[in-house]
Amino acid sequence: MITRIKEFLKGVEYEMKKISWPTVAELRGSTNVVLVLSLILVIFLFVVDFGLSRMFSFIL
């Protein structure tokens, strides 16, 4: 059991060395993209929800 855990941890270490981690600048850029797109989606959904609620209240 202990040997299997050691083999697993060696495999994890080997795979972690193959990862290319983003730089701080790349991470900030990706974060900004996610935040801006989330804000755009929130605004879009607000407008659609507001418009549909006004339309249904007018119909009913």
pLDDT tens figures, 20-46: 999 999 999 999 999 999 999 999 999
Instruction: Report pLDDT for 52.
Output: 96
Specify if 10 maps to a domain.
no
Give the chain's domain count: 1
**pLDDT of amino acid 60:** 83
pLDDT of the residue at 23: 96
**Is residue 17 domain-resident?**
no
Mean pLDDT for the chain?
95
Q: Which domain holds residue 26?
A: 22-60
- Name the band, by pLDDT with cuts 50, 70 and 90, for residue 11: very high
* 47 domain residue, yes or no: yes
For residue 58, is it left (φ>0), alpha (ψ between -120 and 50) or beta?
alpha
User: With b meaning 16 or more CB within 10 Å and e meaning fewer, what string describes 11-21?
Assistant: eeeeeeeeeee
